[in-house]
Amino acid sequence: MVRVSGHGGVLALAAARRYGVSAMFTLSGGHIFPLYDAAEKGGQPLRLVDVRHEQTAVFAAEATARLTRSPGLAAVTAGPGVTNSVSAVTTAWFNGAPVVVLAGRAPDYRWGAGSLQEIDHPPLLAPVTKRAWTEHETAKVAAAVDEAFRLAMSPHRGPVFLDFSLEAIFGQADAELADLEPLAVTGPDPGDVGRIADLVRAARRPVLILGSDVWLGGAEDAARRAAEELRLPVVANGQARGVLPRGHDLLVTRARSVALRDADLVLVVGAPLDFRLAYGSFGPKETPAQVVHVADGPGGVAAHVPLAASAAGDLAGFFDGLAAAGHAGGSRDPDWGARLAEAVRSAQAADGPLLASDAEPVHPARVYGELLRVLEDDAVVIGDGGDFVSFAGKYIEPARPGGWLDPGPFGCLGTGLGYAIAARLARPSAQVILLLGDGAAGFSLMDADTLVRHRLPVVIVCGNNGAWGLEKHPMRALYGYDVLADLRPGCRYDEVVRALGGAGELVTAPSGIGPALRRALAANVPYLVNVVTDPEIAYPRSTTGV
Ligand SMILES: Cc1ncc(C[n+]2csc(CCOP(=O)(O)OP(=O)(O)O)c2C)c(N)n1
Ligand SMILES: [Mg+2]
């Protein structure tokens, strides 16, 4: 039992600190001053990172959660502070990221009379959070915050929203916090694991697909052991990219289309069976693959597609159980591994000329050809954009898990600067590279100011095709022309970052990219490399996601 006393801000942060929170991302507003006072003077030291848009605050909290696997914290002021955060909260919801958003709220004693920014927030947030509610009593603030963090961290993880009426956060109280209890770990049902092991043993051409929850649930080592023990070819998605390091003989992400077309058993762990995974239907219509879905909680198991088996619970426990129960079956097609390895080799060989392309305007792939030469194993690579980022997903194969941050299935542009701020704080000595479409840049580039003020050096590479490329090309394909898809060619986003106190440069020739990246990495300040790329190059896409 811990006793805490003070105003609501002190009580809130006392509870937050116990969950390992070390930074609070925020943008000022009077309704939440007590949270700042507690961080500055209330005996609860916490790094305050003040940003230029509330969505950046919540994106930063989300990236903190996804990189550190401890909860991220954002604080937003009443009314517009909350509404501005909604897209980012929704992104955390889709990504299963443990984020707590604390918010101010108009006073209870005048409720209904029209105070400044008076609006009932929880109904707006309820559909995109694990819980959204209001605390009205100072004495209950600490316990409410404690509950918010606990809920956010319990699988299946996700964002939690809690606002405080003005009286609750400004009032004074004594409170008691119960001792922290470790989160209960619920293993999958051993019978389910056994059935899945039988299917794996009997499969001729199995594939294991790993998703972000494998990393978020701390199951990356167990996943690798199980894949190696059972000799399962692996396709890695999202933050599971890197669970098998690039070059691993079982890693067949680059042969994904062959693997998913020809597999007879697809075992998906820690990822929803959504548009990114063909909604869980693989192989020819007449002889579809059997599909097994494993999620970190029962609510995550797909209900929209027939499953040969499923399991729900702790993912490390699942992989340990699978490895213990099964050995690679004698029924395995002896050529399966070699066929996939060959498909990987030929995909990589086909990349060579594009990665080295001397074309002018620059082919976006050349940016990655140059980046791959300077990228270190512990780099955090962030993608915010359309086609430019799709190319990155294809060419960048991480060496370690947890270092790749894309926006996830909600596909919200504008994550970039928030994710970059968090990545620099979470991984102080690693390279942090933000890949930014020129369209995406418009949503968050003002927060380069935050990088500068907080001395957070990151390298931003802007793929500047002067277009909303991922809309321009599909619209042309559908209508034979495009409209509303052009941006100003060669716009000087590098000068924006310079004006805000960072550095940057424009690159128009392929030979200029490598030297510019090296200067950016050495600069130790926020640095934007603005590469003018060919607007006519569209990413060769096999699905539109609808
Ligand atoms: C907030 C938000 N608004 C609109 C979209 C629709 N959208 C998806 S990709 C894209 C184009 C992105 O352009 P850019 O960042 O320049 O990347 P490019 O495709 O040109 O490489 C748009 C507008 C979205 N995903 N998110
Ligand atoms: Mg663009």
Residues ≥6 apart with Cβ < 8 Å to 285: none
pLDDT at 543: 67
Confidence of residue 285 (pLDDT cuts 50, 70, 90): confident
Three-class secondary structure of residue 488 per DSSP: coil
Residue 381: φ, ψ to 5°: -115, 125
How many other CB atoms sit within 10 Å of the CB of residue 40?
Answer: 12
CB 7 within 8 A of CB 171: yes
What is the C-alpha to C-alpha distance for residues 211 and 208, in angstroms, rounded to an integer?
10
For CA atoms 514, 519, 525, 531, the dihedral sign is negative
Pocket of ligand 1 contains residue 414 by CB under 6 Å:
yes
pLDDT at 341: 95
Q: State which amino acid sits at residue 393.
A: G
Cis peptide before 361 (omega within 30 of 0): yes
Atom of ligand 1 minimally distant from the CA of 87: 1
CB 292 within 8 A of CB 265: yes
CATH number of 2-177: 3.40.50.970
**For residue 75, which of 105, 40, 101, 106 has the smallest C-alpha distance?**
101
pLDDT at 329: 64
What is the C-alpha to C-alpha distance for residues 454 and 112, in angstroms, rounded to an integer?
40
| Domain residue extents for the chain | 2-177, 190-340, 356-532
How confident is the model over 312-362, as pLDDT tens digits?
Answer: 999 999 999 999 987 766 799 999 999 999 999 999 999 999 999 999 999
Average pLDDT over residues 82-96: 98
Is there a common fold for 190-340 and 356-532? yes
CATH 3.40.50.1220 fits 190-340, yes or no: yes
Domain 356-532: CATH class, spelled out: alpha beta
Pocket of ligand 1 contains residue 262 by CB under 6 Å:
no
Pocket of ligand 1 contains residue 466 by CB under 6 Å:
no
Pairing of strands 404-405, 380-384: parallel
CB 404 within 8 A of CB 239: yes
Residues in a beta bridge with 76: 103
Return the ligand number nearest the Cα of 465.
Answer: 2
**pLDDT surpasses 70 at 544:** no
Measured in whole angstroms, how far is the alpha carbon of residue 190 from the centre of its chain?
Answer: 31
pLDDT at 542: 72
Pocket of ligand 1 contains residue 445 by CB under 6 Å:
no
As a whole number of angstroms, the longest Cα–Cα distance in the chain is: 74
How confident is the model over 127-185, as pLDDT tens digits?
Answer: 999 999 999 999 999 999 999 999 999 999 999 999 999 999 999 999 999 999 888 88
* CA of residue 508 to ligand 2 center, whole Å: 15
Atom of ligand 1 minimally distant from the CA of 463: 21
